[in-house]
Structure 1
Amino acid sequence: MPRSSPGKLSRRNFNAWMAGAAAAAGAGHALLWPRLAGAAEPQLVSRLRIVIPANEGGGWDQTGRALGAALLASGAAGEVVYENIGGKGGTIGLAKYVEKYDADPDTLLMSGMVMVGAVALQKPAVTLAQVAPVARLTSDYEVVAVKADSPIKTPKDLIAQLRADAAKTVIAGGSAGGVDHMYAGMLARVAGSTAGLVYQPYPGGAQVVEALATGKAVAGISGFSEFSAGLSNGTLRAIGVSSKRPFLGIPSVREQGVDADLANWRGVLTGKKVPADRKAVLLEAVHRATTADIWQKTIKRNNWDAYWMAGKDFESFLDLDLAMAGPMIYLLKLKA
């Protein structure tokens, strides 16, 4: 891993460091930027664009804007702009990102398990093979919620209703093929059949909450941060969470006798044609942002699990996730 010594930084030394940085990034190592003795950390990117492949207000949007705020607060970026491109589990945003920013050294793409599932389900022309991983940022769990006055009190109650009348047990969640849809399929499979699952996809958590509040859906699946307001004001009631253990005071679905657990993740990617040395700079900028106080406070406030992963580890993780998504979609018989 390239390191610097204090003192004067010459052009020759800097060029040598950059060559080493590119190699370190390719090997999956975190980078330490050279610093003059007593100097502040250097700005790494003057203007950075974050493409968020979802509408404003959802989990990807929250994460992308939180990352942008941390990039600014840490001094890693001088300016951050956001571009929301929603639709079809992030696959529309993915396609436009590849079209417009494949070689752009100053543009990141938010991604995560939702996009992995949507690509597996929809089989679009542009896939995740056409972008390059930078870092995984967070893990999140699926909360299963119902309207506050719903007769469904536990996950077993929901399973019983799915068995009794799946056609009238509408489950609302995010995009088709995404992690919410996968988890709905897992619950339906426990109930005995995924063939009758009625899943209603929505572009964001706010619409899922509305579907529950208006009776359009019997149950909803989303991240805690998207349900938090409804849970706090008494509109919704959580009946379980997809973690293996209790999370934020919510008992896990598994510990209540329903064998279904699943974790979501969110991270950032870059263009396939972005040079290795520039990817190293972007990685260092994102890493610095995640050590900033504002990022740590956002993680705590939104009840996300910080889950840093980069380099070869993240590449291997993403390859495995992509390999597993197709069989899971097939096994659960999910439909677009």
Structure 2
Amino acid sequence: MKQFVLASLFAGALAVPAMADYTIIAPANPGGGWDQTARTMQTVLQEEGISKSAQVQNVPGAGGTIGLAQFASQNKGNPDALIVGGYVMVGAILTNNSPVSLTDVTPIARLTGEYEAIVVPAASPIQDIAGLIEALKADPGAVSWAGGSAGGTDHIAVGLIAKAAGVDPTKINYIAYSGGGEALAAILGNQVTAGISSLGEFEAQIQAGTLRLLAVTSPERLEGVDAPTLQEAGLDVTLENWRMVAAAPGLSDEQKAKVTADMEKMAKSEAWQKQLSDKGWMDTWLAGPEFEAQLEKDIAATDAILRDIGLVK
């Protein structure tokens, strides 16, 4: 009888899937949205007992495409490897003519969404979005913009703002940085006229008074945010930056299902929801065939926008 019980317990233990030791690639320098997302995932995965020892690795460059290429080539069939991506990466793949795309990995889920914010240094003579647009119309090249990678969400937003203001988008002076931390340093150092990024990346400096928030790209005013929308300023522009998580290529259906289940457990946890609230991120969870279909639509729409504003020929 004792042997039967022990055998049953042993069999039950074998039936429980092993806990993953996830490594999460943040394909940018520390400080930006992808890095923040990866490190938030790391924290919650460990706090919730989903991963024993989640690790984050930064592989910056070319709007995430360097990290994506390395991830795809080095992790085939590895169910413990994850990479953070999103709207920025979709644009960078197109503008950089990247040989590796999101079809070369295993998209798992969309995680978060966030609107863009347009800021200037506190010492700037530009007091509002109207003043910035006036300067842009007067001399597009004299207005320098600091943002993320070329072809990413920030770059697209500036192109759309220029177009809506009647300025040739190909004339904008956009300076691309490989990480949010570098772009922020350039703005705070008065090296550029204005900065653009996800609102959460500027929030601490806005609260501290070192940056002036001019406008946001949401369709309506954001609760607790003292800034108009671009639409209020007469510019027909709205834009949401979303972030996703993908797994390695070559996974079995069972491995993909396990990763998806882990990500859903993370995303539905109280710890994750608190992080979203604290960081001002929207919960845009979407997985499975629905996410894959939406990703296809987003890639096609991004291609159309990039062609429209002259970033892709």
Normalising by structure 1, we get a TM-score of 0.85
Query: What's the counterpart of residue 175 of structure 2?
Result: 200
**CA-to-aligned-CA distance 1:253-303 (integer Å, 9 cap, x gap):** 112221111001011011220111011111111111112222111111110
Query: What's the counterpart of residue 250 of structure 2?
Result: 273
TM-fit CA distance, 1:44 = 5.2
TM-fit CA distance, 1:10 = 10
User: Which of 83, 89, 92 is the equivalent residue of 2:57?
Assistant: 83
The answer on 1:224 being equivalent to 2:188 is no
User: Which of 154, 163, 187 is the equivalent residue of 2:128?
Assistant: 154
Mapped partners of 1:335, 1:233: distance in 2: 38
Pairing of 1:312-323 with structure 2 (within 5 A) = 312-323=289-300
**Structure 1 pair 43/296, CA: closer, same or farther in 2 (3 Å)?**
farther
Q: Secondary structure at the residue paired with 2:171?
A: coil
Letter paired with 1:90: G
Q: Which runs of no fewer than 5 residues in structure 2 stay unpaired?
A: 1-7
Letter paired with 1:262: L
Mapped partners of 1:124, 1:93: distance in 2: 11
Mapped partners of 1:93, 1:326: distance in 2: 21
Query: What's the counterpart of residue 302 of structure 2?
Result: 325
Mapped partners of 1:268, 1:75: distance in 2: 19
Mapped partners of 1:268, 1:293: distance in 2: 19
Q: Secondary structure at the residue paired with 1:228?
A: helix
TM-fit CA distance, 1:101 = 0.8
How many matched pairs?
Answer: 302
User: Which of 43, 52, 56 is the equivalent residue of 2:26?
Assistant: 52
Mapped partners of 1:206, 1:51: distance in 2: 17
Query: What's the counterpart of residue 3 of structure 1?
Result: none
Letter paired with 1:317: Q
Deviates more, 1:98-107 or 1:290-299: 290-299
Letter paired with 1:305: M
Deviates more, 1:270-279 or 1:177-186: 270-279
Mapped partners of 1:127, 1:205: distance in 2: 22
TM-fit CA distance, 1:61 = 0.7
TM-fit CA distance, 1:206 = 2.4
Q: Secondary structure at the residue paired with 1:108?
A: strand
**Structure 1 pair 246/128, CA: closer, same or farther in 2 (3 Å)?**
same
TM-fit CA distance, 1:65 = 1.0
Q: Secondary structure at the residue paired with 2:99?
A: coil
Preserved CA contact (<8 Å) 2:303 2:312 = no
Pairing of 1:206-217 with structure 2 (within 5 A) = 206-217=181-192
CA-based RMSD of the aligned residues comes to 2.0
**Structure 1 pair 299/50, CA: closer, same or farther in 2 (3 Å)?**
same
Mapped partners of 1:285, 1:295: distance in 2: 13
**CA-to-aligned-CA distance 1:141-193 (integer Å, 9 cap, x gap):** 10000111323233232222111011110011001111000001111112221
Mapped partners of 1:316, 1:304: distance in 2: 23
Mapped partners of 1:163, 1:251: distance in 2: 20
Pairing of 1:1-336 with structure 2 (within 5 A) = 45-192=19-166, 193-247=168-222, 248-249=224-225, 250-334=227-311
Letter paired with 1:253: L
Mapped partners of 1:335, 1:156: distance in 2: 29
Letter paired with 1:205: G
Letter paired with 1:261: T
Letter paired with 2:61: G
**Structure 1 pair 175/321, CA: closer, same or farther in 2 (3 Å)?**
same
Q: Secondary structure at the residue paired with 2:25?
A: strand
